[in-house]
Chains A and B, each alone.
Chain A
């Protein structure tokens, strides 16, 4: 079995007192986000026992979190393979516009419109993937370029919000409550997170994605087709952005330019918070979900406590910086261990 000599050596050498400062930092870098989330829940529950601490409000938080969680889970994949996707927010906006347009302008049936829109999302992800892997343009540049172009294309598709000719079934997609009075987006979120978690942790391709992100040269020499793996990650990010865009339009009952753009920052903050959760600075789905909850609980609690709305961007930006900092801290302590 496993050789025990190292353990024997350690036993002979005896134990030294624990370095508390170090242990504290390691704890913070792994469980800090979860503790933070719990503290926030306790704090807001005490401050607003009737409004915050209620089933209706928790469902509300989950429902708000679900769109961010879906887009952030897709973004997580690109970060797992060591890339970036700055286009996700723009893709969500664009898809949200055209999915409504397909129904309203082109008069396509709802399911075909949605299927087409999701396919376009995957296609946009693949374009990002090709630009990054084959044309070898830095991901920051290529995805920002693609995203910016989409804003323009969206504007030429429809400069005005599309609010007419939208079937009721489409708005019910997000407004409906199929089970237990829980809003539908929550189920979409849980389904997508479960699938993405399973792929990342329990399949060949997920293991290979992690290898590509951990050490691309080693992954290549291990026989992994790195470019294909990265394209899969970008395609998934595109798909998830498209789902978020579709649900967003359904929620708003219209197709409006630029509505999804803001999700980019939320998603990044959530993904980086997630990487400082449990797994030593690695990007993963459960972490991302924790990150999304921190954002959603914070927004909701602050709003309930009556914080002015201009406080939101401050909170969001602060969280993003904190998240990236904690993620770096987690990686540093993981490396030292």
Chain B
């Protein structure tokens, strides 16, 4: 593609003139949007050619989603315009965006679970008969053609609820194609995909690109972005701070552009080794549940970060749910400080000293319409009583605890009374970890703690987890981010298809070893759950 990019507005040399040429199919000019006085997007310019794969990166709250929401017609910009193929897009109308050929795939896939894949894809198609009714025949022909293009191999009458996350992505892309989309924005597409599944998605994206479909690829996984995208736009604090063609930026440069400074590289990584000579804090003994977890046994020691590696669907989340009392094991049991546990529910687990920070932050962790302070204090209300014997709470103690937690975890919030919904994902996650710091727990299970979180916040979350471990709490960390396991863990247990397939500790914890153990062999790793 192009050799240089405009670093400043003034550099109208050959390269940037080319960027602004008529092949700039979509042109965004001066897009500006503020929410309640805070600028979410400032004078954003962006061009997209047909068939271009364009990466959009930035910390949470940098303005990526605002930009996408403007394109989707969900948000109306205060200023600026968007033209597509020379025609100005009417803003604030999702229908207009759809007619212009724009399609959007969000992390939470908007599919109807009890509809079949075909029915879901048909929702996007608007072929009507002469009488204005939906022409099912023509529509389904179109949907089937789209399915073929994205390489859907499962039967199209399969219910979406029975499909894996990867397969749902295919359905979403198929849905976009069925309505002749010429632009697809994808938000964190690989967040819940395994390695081979991601690879498959990339090849589909490349194929779409060859057929002239422009892709706006939003992701925190920078390697992917660097690998996949023709051009990358970096947003910081609502402004476009860098725009680069493939090859001009490396990961380090990209990280620097996103956060403004370097981060610790894996080479000078610390290696943690918790003392495992004493009695374990928490033990799993022959636990099994419905074929998802098969005869799993291990120990967690005080101050240890024990990571569970493996692919999505390996049974790690299910194991976490069993340990946290969400579900009861069919066989086996757990021990805490050598005492056998029989956890009837989540409350029993918390009472015993086991807490879970769930994978689904918004739906299972946060009380969105409540304040930051409320969300952090809710699990340690007993500490906040005016008098220990009476149920009355002291507002002063509540404020003091919340302020202390905000401080300790460097949670970025205007005040402790701010609604947690308005914080960035990383800060919300820190608040969810903070919830357990004063609750006297013995074991904290973190399921994908840095998923969808920007680079800077990820570091701070890691620091918080290590600090918690140092205080003597046992930690079980589940993450699909192999690098995260390598950075953070004292010990890594790898799970595959419900079983433990290996244990790594100290210098053996490498990304390559974890990946190796996650897949049976290189060949069978390609097999999908379908």
Closest-CB distance, A279 to chain B (whole angstroms): 9
Contact with A along B294-316 (1 / 0, CB 8 A): 00000000000000000000000
Q: Report the separation of the CA atoms of residues A9 and B260 in the bound assembly, to the nearest whole angstrom.
A: 14
Interface stretch (choices A10-18, A61-69, A287-295, A307-315)? A10-18
Contact with B along A189-232 (1 / 0, CB 8 A): 00000000010001111011011001101111111111000000
Assess whether B347 is interfacial by the CB under 8 Å rule.
yes
Give chain B residues whose Cβ lies under 8 Å from the Cβ of A15.
37
Q: Are the CB atoms of B403 and A211 closer together than 8 Å? A: no
**In the complex where A221-B358, A281-B369 touch, is A6 in contact with B374 (Cβ < 8 A)?**
no
Q: Are the CB atoms of A215 and B363 closer together than 8 Å? A: yes
**In the complex where A204-B393, A218-B365, A221-B365 touch, is A1 in contact with B412 (Cβ < 8 A)?**
no
Give chain A residues whose Cβ lies under 8 Å from the Cβ of B421.
335, 337
Assess whether A334 is interfacial by the CB under 8 Å rule.
yes
Q: Report the separation of the CA atoms of residues A18 and B347 in the bound assembly, to the nearest whole angstrom.
A: 46
Q: Which of A214, A217, A223 contacts B368 (CB 8 A)?
A: A214
Closest-CB distance, B236 to chain A (whole angstroms): 10
Q: Which of A1, A205, A207 contacts B378 (CB 8 A)?
A: A207
Chain A, residue nearest B422 (CB): A337
Give chain B residues whose Cβ lies under 8 Å from the Cβ of A223.
346-347, 349-351, 355, 379, 439
**Residue among A1, A6, A222 with the most chain B CB within 10 A?**
A222
Assess whether A7 is interfacial by the CB under 8 Å rule.
yes
Give chain A residues whose Cβ lies under 8 Å from the Cβ of B381.
204, 207-208
Q: Are the CB atoms of A5 and B403 closer together than 8 Å? A: no
Q: Which of A2, A13, A335 contacts B39 (CB 8 A)?
A: A13
Assess whether A106 is interfacial by the CB under 8 Å rule.
no
**Residue among A5, A198, A218 with the most chain B CB within 10 A?**
A218
Give chain A residues whose Cβ lies under 8 Å from the Cβ of B355.
221, 223
Give chain B residues whose Cβ lies under 8 Å from the Cβ of A214.
367-370
Q: Which of B78, B347, B377, B382 contacts A220 (CB 8 A)?
A: B347
Indicate the size class of the contact surface on chain B. 35 or more
Q: Which of A5, A203, A204, A207 contacts B412 (CB 8 A)?
A: A5
Assess whether B113 is interfacial by the CB under 8 Å rule.
no
Assess whether B415 is interfacial by the CB under 8 Å rule.
yes
Closest-CB distance, A9 to chain B (whole angstroms): 5
Q: Report the separation of the CA atoms of residues A9 and B349 in the bound assembly, to the nearest whole angstrom.
A: 42
Interface residues of B in 353-371 (CB under 8 A from A): 355-356, 358, 360, 363-370
Give chain A residues whose Cβ lies under 8 Å from the Cβ of B36.
337
Q: Are the CB atoms of A221 and B385 closer together than 8 Å? A: no
**In the complex where A220-B347, A221-B356, A221-B364 touch, is A9 in contact with B385 (Cβ < 8 A)?**
no
Q: Are the CB atoms of B367 and A217 closer together than 8 Å? A: no
Give chain B residues whose Cβ lies under 8 Å from the Cβ of A16.
34, 37, 39, 78
Assess whether A3 is interfacial by the CB under 8 Å rule.
yes
**In the complex where A10-B39, A337-B36 touch, is A220 in contact with B369 (Cβ < 8 A)?**
no
Assess whether A280 is interfacial by the CB under 8 Å rule.
yes
Give chain A residues whose Cβ lies under 8 Å from the Cβ of B346.
220-221, 223
Q: Are the CB atoms of A222 and B378 closer together than 8 Å? A: yes
Q: Are the CB atoms of A2 and B356 closer together than 8 Å? A: no
Assess whether A104 is interfacial by the CB under 8 Å rule.
no
Q: Report the separation of the CA atoms of residues A217 and B422 in the bound assembly, to the nearest whole angstrom.
A: 20
Q: Report the separation of the CA atoms of residues A315 and B309 in the bound assembly, to the nearest whole angstrom.
A: 62
Q: Are the CB atoms of A217 and B393 closer together than 8 Å? A: no
Give chain B residues whose Cβ lies under 8 Å from the Cβ of A335.
368-369, 421
Q: Are the CB atoms of B412 and A3 closer together than 8 Å? A: yes
Contact with B along A284-321 (1 / 0, CB 8 A): 00000000000000000000000000000000000000
Chain B, residue nearest A215 (CB): B367
Closest-CB distance, B443 to chain A (whole angstroms): 13
Closest-CB distance, B32 to chain A (whole angstroms): 8
Assess whether B199 is interfacial by the CB under 8 Å rule.
no
Assess whether B14 is interfacial by the CB under 8 Å rule.
no
Interface residues of B in 410-424 (CB under 8 A from A): 410-416, 419, 421-422
Interface residues of A in 146-181 (CB under 8 A from B): none
Assess whether B154 is interfacial by the CB under 8 Å rule.
no
**Residue among A1, A6, A280 with the most chain B CB within 10 A?**
A6
Q: Are the CB atoms of A1 and B407 closer together than 8 Å? A: yes
Chain B, residue nearest A8 (CB): B237
Q: Are the CB atoms of B403 and A221 closer together than 8 Å? A: no
Assess whether B406 is interfacial by the CB under 8 Å rule.
yes
Q: Report the separation of the CA atoms of residues A208 and B36 in the bound assembly, to the nearest whole angstrom.
A: 31
Q: Are the CB atoms of B366 and A221 closer together than 8 Å? A: no
Assess whether A282 is interfacial by the CB under 8 Å rule.
yes
Assess whether B31 is interfacial by the CB under 8 Å rule.
no
Q: Which of A9, A205, A225, A334 contacts B369 (CB 8 A)?
A: A334
Q: Are the CB atoms of B364 and A207 closer together than 8 Å? A: no
Q: Report the separation of the CA atoms of residues A282 and B367 in the bound assembly, to the nearest whole angstrom.
A: 12
Interface residues of B in 388-417 (CB under 8 A from A): 391-393, 395, 403, 406-407, 410-416
Interface residues of B in 229-247 (CB under 8 A from A): 237-238
Q: Report the separation of the CA atoms of residues A208 and B347 in the bound assembly, to the nearest whole angstrom.
A: 12
CB-defined A-B contacts under 8 Å, sample of 29:
A2-B406, A3-B411, A13-B42, A16-B37, A202-B393, A208-B381, A210-B367, A211-B367, A214-B367, A214-B368, A215-B365, A215-B367, A217-B358, A217-B360, A217-B363, A220-B346, A221-B324, A221-B350, A221-B365, A222-B350, A222-B435, A223-B349, A223-B379, A223-B439, A225-B347, A226-B347, A280-B369, A282-B369, A335-B421
Closest 3 CB pairs of A and B: A223-B350, A214-B367, A13-B39
Given contacts A13-B237, A337-B421, 15 further A-B contacts (CB under 8 A): A3-B411, A3-B412, A3-B413, A6-B412, A9-B39, A9-B237, A13-B38, A16-B39, A207-B381, A210-B374, A215-B364, A220-B326, A221-B346, A223-B346, A223-B439
